[in-house]
Structure 1
Amino acid sequence: MEGKEELLKELSETYRKMVRKFIVERDKILIEGSVTLPQFMILDKLKLEGPKKVGDLGKELDFTSGAITAFCDKLVKGGYAIRKREKDDRRVVNLEITSEGLELLMRYEEVSGRFQEALFQGFNEEELQTQLIFYRKILGNLPHMSKAILELVAEKQQKGGAS
């Protein structure tokens, strides 16, 4: 069992490092000096799907509410997007891409493909398929992770703390 515990520990640490490094590297990418890759992704989604509520964008792109708001504020400030109220319900505000945002996407249309190629370079198709299987399993496990740990903590607290 010692071998499996050590392997799980190493996998967990490597996974955390990978996620942190991914975010650090992703956030180094600035397009025309001011547009981050996440902002570029937001613009691309708006181009493909039309105006959206900021909260919906955050959920669809897996950004926290604070992050998506900050990204969208900067896009508006840069002139790449605007906020517009819905005609039928003035309380609802959508983010919409501007002509400047569309022009930016057109100038850098190969960014998404290059990003994916750089991230997964060196893997053959079979290895990519295997990774996809693993990532889907991890995604399936994530919603249960906090529950499992919280149950353990509650159990330990009921017994009078860790032993």
Structure 2
Amino acid sequence: MAIDQEILEVSSMFRLLMKKASQDWNRGACKMNLTFPQVQILYSLNNRGSLKVSELADALNLTSAAITGLTDKLCSLNYVERERATDDRRVVYVKITKEGIHAIDSVKEIYREMMEKMFNQLSKEDIQHLMRIFAQMLVNIDN
């Protein structure tokens, strides 16, 4: 098999892997009634504490308007709360609630189970090879 054909085959397999992983993620996240960007918001707030809408937008590479829309749903689920800054009413902070912390803990468990299912038949050596290969591919893309 020519190298070009092998690269096409690897590329096709990688796309299929990502599609199936995304479908698996969506099945698990559906149990929580959360989208991936909403999970990212909860994860960021859980790790970094209360953040301005603009800080969340910068961290997730989204617009402030997108963050506002995403947090509307999270507020309705009581996963986050919004607070206006006392010194500047235009500034809005978003903070995670106890329910949001519980939700992100559940999502982490779903993710752990998904990763375990995906990697449990691979040896430690295989995983190290994947890490080395992906790291090199990321360097190649950046150059």
Q: What percent identity do the matched residue pairs reach?
A: 27
Note the C-alpha offset of 1:95.
2.7
Contact in 2 for aligned 1:54/1:72 (Cα 8 Å): no
Note the C-alpha offset of 1:13.
1.4
Aligned-partner residue type, residue 58 of structure 2: D
TM-score by length of 1: 0.64
Aligned-partner residue type, residue 29 of structure 1: G
Instruction: Please say if 1:54 is aligned against 2:56.
Output: yes
Note the C-alpha offset of 1:40.
3.9
Instruction: Please say if 1:42 is aligned against 2:10.
Output: no
Aligned to 1:115: 114
> In structure 2, do the counterparts of structure 1 residues 142 and 71 end up closer, same or farther at CA, with 3 Å as the change threshold?
farther
Question: What SS is found at the alignment partner of 1:136?
Answer: helix
| Structure 1 spans left out of the alignment, 5+ residues | 145-163
TM-score by length of 2: 0.71
Bigger relative contact order, structure 1 or 2 (CA pairs below 8 A, ≥6 apart): 2
Aligned to 2:14: 15
Note the C-alpha offset of 1:44.
3.3
Instruction: Please say if 1:26 is aligned against 2:25.
Output: yes
Question: What SS is found at the alignment partner of 1:139?
Answer: helix
Question: What SS is found at the alignment partner of 1:83?
Answer: strand
Contact in 2 for aligned 1:30/1:36 (Cα 8 Å): yes
Distance in 2 (CA, whole Å) between partners of 1:99 and 1:57 is: 22
Superposition RMSD in Å: 3.2
Distance in 1 (CA, whole Å) between partners of 2:67 and 2:121 is: 32
Distance in 1 (CA, whole Å) between partners of 2:28 and 2:66 is: 16
Distance in 1 (CA, whole Å) between partners of 2:43 and 2:81 is: 14
Q: Which has the larger radius of gyration?
A: 1
Contact in 2 for aligned 1:79/1:101 (Cα 8 Å): yes
Q: For residues 45-84 of structure 1, what are the alpha-carbon distances to aligned partners after superposition, in whole Å with 9 as ceiling and x for unaligned?
A: 322221233313424xxxx659866543322221101233
Distance in 2 (CA, whole Å) between partners of 1:22 and 1:70 is: 26
Q: Where in structure 2 are the equivalents of 1:23-102 lying within 5 Å?
A: 23-30=22-29, 32-36=31-35, 39-52=38-51, 53-59=55-61, 71-87=70-86, 90-102=89-101
Distance in 2 (CA, whole Å) between partners of 1:88 and 1:22 is: 45
Distance in 1 (CA, whole Å) between partners of 2:105 and 2:9 is: 42
| Structure 2 spans left out of the alignment, 5+ residues | none
Contact in 2 for aligned 1:75/1:81 (Cα 8 Å): yes
